[in-house]
Amino acid sequence: MSLLFLVLISFFFLFGLCEINGNSMNPKLNNGDIVIYSKKYHDLNRFDIIFFEYENSIYVKRIIGMSGEKLSIINNEVYINGQKLDENIELMPYRFTEDFEVIIPDNSYFLLGDNRDVSVDSRMIGNIEEMQIIGKFIVVL
């Protein structure tokens, strides 16, 4: 019994469970999916899917822009430091509402949902600071 207790405590110290609420990460993650994320991650990279806190809620989005980069959206295309970003990920068909440009501050990330027409992400809420991140996606159960 104590071994099971130790395993459960260890699991919840290292990992989190979350139910996906909404369609902003379709087609990768769907409304109602149960996912596991790592609370202990060493590095974050472009296209990683992360969980973060914003206004007392947990959100899940994909990292598109990294600290220090200039991110631009021009004619529905994402550019990093003037170079078109090859988003080699499956996205829902989308259109952006406006072109814009942002310099991503230190210790911050620019996040987008994969279903960009319905996603509330860095286009609306701004860059996400590293201290807001609570985990990195691992798997859908």
Catalytic residue of the set 24, 108, 119, 122: 24
Maximum Cα–Cα distance for the chain, whole Å? 59
24 is catalytic: yes
**Cα first-last separation, the chain:** 25
Residue 64's nearest CA partner among 81, 85, 41 is 85
Catalytic residue of the set 2, 28, 61, 136: 61
Strands (E), 1-141: 15-19, 34-38, 49-54, 57-65, 70-74, 77-80, 83-84, 100-103, 108-112, 128-129, 133-140
Cβ contact 76:41 at 8 Å: no
Element of type H or E holding 127: none
Cα–Cα–Cα angle for 6, 33, 4, rounded to 5 degrees:
10
Catalytic positions: 24, 61
